[in-house]
Structure 1
Amino acid sequence: MSETTMTNADIREAEQNAAPIARPVPFRGGGFVYKPVRIAGPLVFIVLIAIWEFGSDTGWISPLVLPAPSEAWTAFMNLVHSGLLWKHLGASLQRLVIGWTAGTALGIVAGLAIGLFSVARSGLQPLVSALFPVPKIALLPLFIIWFGIDEGSKVATILFGTFFPTVISTYSGVDNVDRTLIRMGQSFGLSWTSIVRKIVIPGAMPAILSGFRISISIAIVLLVAAEMIGAEYGVGAYILMAGSLMATDQLIAGVAILSVLGLIIAWLIGLAEKYFLRWRT
């Protein structure tokens, strides 16, 4: 009896040893999901500024060529205490918001028309291709003749500069929408308006928002250039005045203001991407 028991135990042990060991399989379907490392960005800025400050203190960097960050910070605080910061920044933001919003809105409308209608594509796409490479700042003297030296010419320059990249990104996004989804919507009897609203525009939204990032960068460049040509207040006018006086600390402070403005706008566009593109996650 004991031999039979031992034999059965041996058989069970042999079966367990022969059975494959079950191991957990790691999840491989992440789809290259972006995982933000929040400390990386600020750390890069801190290291660069620290190296810059150290180079200025030790004499490696001449203060005439590039002032220390502490000097630029002092110039910025003087600008704040004098109240001129809000005048310069307020004037620039007003021009930027009006010009970029108008140019983007018109660009989306024109881009959707080119992407959805054959007549619009045949008529407008060659025009966009012909005018897009033209340097927009070169047209500022013409805009001054048309709209005057005041706000109209500056807003028109920004509008004209942001219109074309928005058009191109919009109709490129429409062209890249999966046609299988559109055919599926047609097969289920969706109307043309529903297909555009529920399939085409959401599908083109990643390209449109990417175009926003490009157009806002172009808008800031054109804003500064337009303010340098003729403006009493504005960040561009402040940078031009600092450069004329060889006040490099004020010049760096003005450039830093533009950098912070770009970071804030990029953050806002990132929030828009999370909201409008949440269907991708």
Structure 2
Amino acid sequence: MVDVAHDVCPAATADKRPVTFRGGLFLPRTHRLVGFAALVALILLWQAASSFGWMSPVLAPSPGEVIDALRRMALSGELATHLSASLVRLAGGFAIGGTAGIAFGMAIGLSSLVRSPGATLVAALFPIPKIALLPLFILWFGIGESSKVATIAFGTFFPMVIATYGAVDNVDRSLVRMGRSFGLSSFAIISKIILPGALPGILSGMRIASSIGIVLLIAAEMIGANEGVGALVLAAGNLMQSDRLLAGVVVLSLLGLTVAGVIGAVEKRLLAWR
């Protein structure tokens, strides 16, 4: 009688080699040290170009001169005045435009009655350069703060609408049907299934909208403002004060990084389940 177990066991009990994990190919990781090193390398290259005379000190002052200009403006209180004015305008416009954009995007994504006219209006108005409407907003709201806030709100509204209803459309409808089969109400389905599923896309839209808001903020301040980072950059350019001009550009870069960092922290907290 043939010992079948004896013949099969050697193959079954062969040495088991560990299988290499291959699922990390499309899971990019952020290396903060590498990003910081790239920024430092760029600054050092800029400093070297200024030190060796490769760039005119009038057209492109050295990083040291830009930092010194920032220090002088910070000590005099000028930087705080301009930055606080810009932050108030950006926060107001982004809060209005972002909130309205999310609400309207949800309505387009959830309601067949709103989708057809809403999507058509967004497609027709979104390509219009928002800064071109600033003179019209000045006529409507005056030369003060209202016209600048309205420009930022109008510019951030459309990216948030598109991101929101696109994110709602991408929610798996089988989850919605499953919620219905378990007897969930419409409000429960929206709050527990659709909104969490659409949240990654909404937060991505906030990143884009915040960048557009900063661009519109500077443009609006350059046209009709005495205070603000945009007004600071414009005045420095008119007076050929390139160190102050680049100092204003550095402030804008830091402002953009700060806003992106805040949104990233919110995203990390709200999307911890991913």
> In which range does the TM-score fall when normalised by the shorter chain?
over 0.9
- Which residue of the other structure, out of 175, 192, 202, is the alignment partner of 2:186? 192
- Which residue of the other structure, out of 83, 108, 112, is the alignment partner of 1:89? 83
Residue of structure 1 in register with 2:106 after alignment:
112
Residue of structure 1 in register with 2:246 after alignment:
252
Residue of structure 1 in register with 2:214 after alignment:
220
- Structure 1 position 41, deviation (Å): 1.2
CA distance in 1, matches of 2:197, 2:217: 31
Deviation by residue 1:196-246 (Cα, 9 ceiling, x = unmatched): 111111111111111101100000000000000111110000000000001
- Which residue of the other structure, out of 16, 19, 29, is the alignment partner of 1:22? 16
- How many residues align? The count is 267
Residue of structure 2 in register with 1:236 after alignment:
230
Residues 151, 271 of structure 1: alpha-carbon distance in 2 compared, 3 angstrom cutoff = same
Residue of structure 2 in register with 1:279 after alignment:
273
CA distance in 2, matches of 1:18, 1:167: 58
Residues 194, 19 of structure 1: alpha-carbon distance in 2 compared, 3 angstrom cutoff = closer
CA distance in 2, matches of 1:20, 1:35: 37
- Which residue of the other structure, out of 122, 143, 156, is the alignment partner of 2:150? 156
- Return 5+ residue gaps in structure 2 as ranges: 1-5
CA distance in 2, matches of 1:17, 1:238: 78
User: Which stretch of the first structure deviates more once superposed, 86-95 or 120-129?
Assistant: 120-129
CA distance in 1, matches of 2:198, 2:239: 48
- Structure 1 position 17, deviation (Å): 10
CA distance in 1, matches of 2:122, 2:32: 39
- Structure 1 position 40, deviation (Å): 1.0
- Structure 1 position 31, deviation (Å): 7.4
Residue of structure 1 in register with 2:201 after alignment:
207
Residue of structure 2 in register with 1:136 after alignment:
130
User: Which stretch of the first structure deviates more once superposed, 29-38 or 75-84?
Assistant: 29-38
CA distance in 1, matches of 2:13, 2:192: 52
- Superposed CA RMSD: 1.7
Q: What fraction of aligned residue pairs are identical, expressed as a percent?
A: 56
TM-score, with length taken from structure 2: 0.94
Residue of structure 1 in register with 2:173 after alignment:
179
- Structure 1 position 146, deviation (Å): 0.7
Deviation by residue 1:95-132 (Cα, 9 ceiling, x = unmatched): 00000011000000000000001111122111111110
- Structure 1 position 16, deviation (Å): 7.5
- Structure 1 position 29, deviation (Å): 4.2
1:167 aligns with 2:161: yes
- Structure 1 position 247, deviation (Å): 0.6
CA distance in 2, matches of 1:104, 1:276: 17
Larger Rg: 1
Matched letter for residue 70 of structure 1: G
- Structure 1 position 180, deviation (Å): 1.0
- Structure 1 position 28, deviation (Å): 3.8
CA distance in 1, matches of 2:11, 2:177: 55
